[in-house]
Amino acid sequence: MALLDPRRGCIVIRVIYDGPAFAGKTTNLRTLARSLESKLYSGEESDGRTLYFDWVDYMGGLFEGMPIRCQIVSVPGQRILERRRRLLLETSDVVVFVADSRSERLMENVRSFKVLGQVLAPMVPPVGIVVQANKRDLKGAITLDALRDALDRDRLLALTEAVAESGEGVRETFVLAVRLALDRVRELWNRKELPKIEPGIDDGGQLLSAMKATEGENLASLSSLGLGAIERRSPIEAAAPPPPASPPPSGGVPPLPDASVPPGLVWPPVEGRIVVHESTRVMTRIERRESGDWLGFSSEWMLRSPLKGLFFHLEEARAALVSWARWHSAVAERLSQPRCIVLMPEASEVWRLWQIVRRVPTLSDTARELFEQSDDLLLGEGLFKIIDLRLRAERDFVTTGWLGRLGFSSVSVSEAGAPLFAGFSPYSGRSLSTVGSAKFDEDRLIRDELAPLLRGELRIAPHRIPAVLTSLRKVATANRRGHIAKSIQQSLLGS
Ligand SMILES: Nc1nc2c(ncn2[C@@H]2O[C@H](COP(=O)(O)OP(=O)(O)O)[C@@H](O)[C@H]2O)c(=O)[nH]1
Ligand SMILES: [Mg+2]
């Protein structure tokens, strides 16, 4: 429901606290109200249970020079009040999902989170979710990884920890949530879709009346709970640059991107910031390569800043980000996920481009595992699959011009069995539509890349070569790709 209130000259966003009953939503808002020096409005309660919502108003921060007004609203968590909950969720710009860390509450969290996912799925631009693992003080609190796996194994979640009762982690969660909401505002702004209209709902009392009114009616739309009618959409004056961070890089090592990067400097919007938040929490090593690139690693993530990724003018830096983002959009379906690109303020008037990519199992990893396979037949079949994927990837990415080069360690497989590019995307500092060579030479690829790989792996067991080659030939022929096996055999035996 983000909007630009023309009368007050401010941006209005709505941060919704969601989650199962008793997880600590009201406690979060109570703590926030105290630390933000604002007032908590609790619509109506019955025995301390929220019936409608809690509401906190907060004014803080700037977007394009305009103050930001946050409507912080918690939903009722009881299942019986689910309709009220959904109505409120549909007006969110970001959601903090307050999860109860006690193991016995895990299924309640999961059930509630599923509903949240359904409600938010159709919303465009995406509404980010911060999962706050609350009640970390209690014995029997499950680990963050267990919570993450139970909620959604396939999706990257921004996780924070809190003890809402004592206030620990409450503010950190809120700050991250506001940043995700502002990513959404930025996206609306860029699309010239940020409504310029006074908020239909200005305080808790108005929201309560509106909710009660809609419950009396045959409600379908919730426009009255958010914006009222949208009167006009007007393009807004040109963007002013956000202030760069002030501390200069220390000890030569550039600062890693962090989740405080200003809106508009991370792509894709919303999800990109979640990638930054999750990856840089655990980044362990950073080093400079001979090429001049900076590289960072953790067990799950890898991060790179190219040599040409340093900028001294924000407009130039932005243009580079946009052109790189275009490349990513164009090949999105063929890229391993999640990943993001981000422009990190590095010093006064200095920005650095980074990309962050989640490490996924690649063909190299699969090959290494395969060679532990003692059955020659299965090894041959597995090898054919890998080789076939590698060749398809070459055809898809390099021949079409999207990439300059590929290797076994930069190709992974999608669930549907198609090759995905899992490496760092190329950056040349200009428009990136074509960087690859147009010629595809299968024989050269087999000779220069595959044969050495196989030779290296098979060196430990040369006696297996004939059996493996026979098996490989059999599968390849069955797939009408006999020539592949033949050229591998020639490369291997010819050496
Ligand atoms: N131990 C502990 N109790 C908490 C914490 N946060 C909330 N509670 C308690 O959990 C209960 C439910 O909290 P409440 O905020 O009303 O949950 P809501 O239903 O999600 O709004 C209350 O008794 C709170 O005092 C926490 O971090 N640790
Ligand atoms: Mg409550």
In DSSP notation, 96-133 reads EEEEE-BGGGHHHHHHHHHHHHHHHTT-SSPPEEEEEE
Q: How many domains is the chain partitioned into structurally?
A: 3
Same domain, 178 and 110: yes
- Whether ligand 1 lies within 6 angstroms of the CB of 165 is answered as yes
How confident is the model over 150-168, as pLDDT tens digits?
A: 999 888 899 999 999 999 9
Q: Let me know: does 344 contact 351? Beta carbons within 8 Å.
A: yes
Ligand 1 atom having least distance to the Cα of 134 = 27
Q: Considering every ligand atom, which ligand is closest to the CA of 112?
A: 1
Neighbours of 163 (CB within 10 A): 20
What is the phi/psi pair of residue 82, to 5°? -60, -30
Nearest to 456, CA basis, from 483, 487, 490, 492:
492
Same domain, 280 and 383: no
Helix, strand, coil abundance in the chain, percent, nearest 5? 40, 20, 40
* pLDDT reported for residue 466: 84
* pLDDT reported for residue 460: 63
How confident is the model over 201-217, as pLDDT tens digits?
A: 888 888 888 888 877 65
What is the Cα–Cα distance from 275 to 259, expressed in whole angstroms? 9
Q: Output the six-digit token pair for 27.
A: 């406690």
Residue 260 resides in a domain:
no
> 462 Cβ partners below 8 Å, 6+ apart?
none
Residue 253 resides in a domain:
no
Same domain, 91 and 135: yes
What is the Cα–Cα distance from 149 to 99, expressed in whole angstroms? 13
Domain of residue 295 covers: 266-358
Same domain, 94 and 60: yes
Residue 158 resides in a domain:
yes
- Whether ligand 1 lies within 6 angstroms of the CB of 25 is answered as yes
* pLDDT reported for residue 217: 53
Q: 256 CA to middle of ligand 2, Å?
A: 38
The preferred substitution site among 98, 165, 166, 173 for testing ligand 1, maximizing ligand atoms within 8 Å of CB, is: 165
Nearest to 198, CA basis, from 228, 234, 237:
228
- Whether ligand 1 lies within 6 angstroms of the CB of 135 is answered as yes
pTM: 0.81
Same domain, 35 and 182: yes
Residue spans of the chain under pLDDT 50: 218-224, 227-250
Residue 224 resides in a domain:
no
Q: 47 CA to middle of ligand 2, Å?
A: 11
Residue 405 resides in a domain:
yes
Residue 115 resides in a domain:
yes
The preferred substitution site among 17, 18, 22 for testing ligand 1, maximizing ligand atoms within 8 Å of CB, is: 22
- Whether ligand 1 lies within 6 angstroms of the CB of 349 is answered as no
* pLDDT reported for residue 486: 86
Q: 24 CA to middle of ligand 2, Å?
A: 7
Q: Whose CA is nearest to atom 9 of ligand 1?
A: 24
Residue 222 resides in a domain:
no
Same domain, 383 and 299: no
- Whether ligand 1 lies within 6 angstroms of the CB of 102 is answered as no
- Whether ligand 1 lies within 6 angstroms of the CB of 26 is answered as yes
Q: Let me know: does 367 contact 386? Beta carbons within 8 Å.
A: yes
Ligand 1 atom having least distance to the Cα of 20 = 20
Q: Let me know: does 55 contact 73? Beta carbons within 8 Å.
A: yes
Same domain, 321 and 431: no
Task: Kindly report the CATH number assigned to the domain that includes residue 32.
Answer: 3.40.50.300
Same domain, 290 and 313: yes
Ligand 1 atom having least distance to the Cα of 78 = 19
Ligand 1 atom having least distance to the Cα of 29 = 15
Residue 321 resides in a domain:
yes
- Whether ligand 1 lies within 6 angstroms of the CB of 380 is answered as no
Q: Whose CA is nearest to atom 12 of ligand 1?
A: 22
Residue finishing a domain among 177, 204, 231: 204
Residue finishing a domain among 358, 386, 418: 358
* pLDDT reported for residue 252: 76
- Whether ligand 1 lies within 6 angstroms of the CB of 24 is answered as yes
Q: 19 CA to middle of ligand 2, Å?
A: 9
Q: Whose CA is nearest to atom 19 of ligand 1?
A: 22
> 68 Cβ partners below 8 Å, 6+ apart?
10, 11, 12, 13, 59, 60, 61, 62, 178, 182
Q: Considering every ligand atom, which ligand is closest to the CA of 138?
A: 1
Q: 134 CA to middle of ligand 1, Å?
A: 8
- Whether ligand 1 lies within 6 angstroms of the CB of 133 is answered as no
Tell me the sheet residues that pair with 303.
296, 356
Ligand 1 atom having least distance to the Cα of 163 = 27
Same domain, 300 and 329: yes
The preferred substitution site among 26, 27, 84 for testing ligand 1, maximizing ligand atoms within 8 Å of CB, is: 27
Same domain, 341 and 368: no
Nearest to 390, CA basis, from 436, 446, 466, 456:
446
- Whether ligand 1 lies within 6 angstroms of the CB of 170 is answered as no
Same domain, 177 and 288: no
* pLDDT reported for residue 232: 29
Residue finishing a domain among 182, 204, 226: 204
- Whether ligand 1 lies within 6 angstroms of the CB of 32 is answered as no
Same domain, 40 and 86: yes
- Whether ligand 1 lies within 6 angstroms of the CB of 137 is answered as yes
* pLDDT reported for residue 184: 96
